[in-house]
Structure 1
Amino acid sequence: MGQNKLFKAVIAGAIIGGIVSMFDRATRESTVATVKTTSERVKYYAQNRDELMQMVEGKIEQAQSLYDTAQTSITKLVENADQLKGLPETIQAMVGDTQKAFAKDETTNGAN
């Protein structure tokens, strides 16, 4: 029952807020212009469904292309992250090899 009252109160608040905002002339004019434009577009696409379908298909293709690009980028990032995980071990091995090489060089130079 509490949810029912909350929903009704939210709807009532939205309606009252909408009415109050219409007292502002700029808001009222902007709203009327937006409603007219939207109405004209709906009428146009209702009469030109093929064009609407082409536009929707184009947007779907764009979204699919964006998804594929993002998926490829994510895959590359994961691969790079996996490579970086092994980097500290590689660096440690290189430092160890370098230390051994210097130690070996010092023993051969010190013997001369």
Structure 2
Amino acid sequence: MAKNKLPAGIIIGAVTGGILSMLDPGTRKKTADSLSKSKQSISYYSRNPQELADRASQKADEWREIAEKIQEDIAFLTDKYEEVKSLAPDLKETVQETKEAFTEEQQTGESTMPPGGSGGLPEKKTM
């Protein structure tokens, strides 16, 4: 049975792409700056672990507040949905009654237009 060469090909491609991207001076500079900042952060937080814990706790509190706000918004929208849903049958009935009233009016020949036939404009007389 043949050995699957896909994982090795992906790894070789990634390494080759990384090496080729380092030929660009801008990419090299940004990568070096990023690694330097990461090294400084790791060094700082290894000396001040309590600050790292405090920042993590602060971020967790922020995310908790966001989650609570989202839950409140969902509850509000759910209530409004249920309210609209309960109004739907009444609205449907009102539309049906209105439709029937206009249908009756057309069948009996009654019109909402004023006399004169064309919306209050005088009739055109021919000679």
Q: TM-score range by the shorter chain?
A: 0.7 to 0.9
Amino acid in structure 1 at the alignment position of 2:42: V
Q: How many residues align?
A: 97
Written as runs of structure 1 = structure 2, the 5 A alignment for 1:88-107 is: 88-94=88-94, 96=97
Higher helix share: 1
User: Over the residues paired in the alignment, what is the CA RMSD in angstroms?
Assistant: 2.0
Relative contact order (alpha carbons < 8 A, sep ≥ 6): 1 or 2 greater? Answer: 1
Q: Could you say which residue in structure 1 is the equivalent of 2:44? A: 44
1:59-103 deviation per Cα after TM superposition (whole angstroms, max 9, x unaligned): 00001111111111111111111111122212245565xx99xxx
- In the superposition, the TM-score normalised over structure 1's length comes to 0.77
* Structure number with larger C-alpha Rg: 2
Deviations 1:30-80 (A, max 9, x none): 100000001000000000000000000000000111111111111111111
Could you state the TM-score of these two structures normalised by the residue count of structure 2? Answer: 0.69
**Unaligned regions of 5+ residues in structure 2, if any?**
102-127
Name stretches of at least 5 consecutive residues in structure 1 with no aligned partner: 101-112
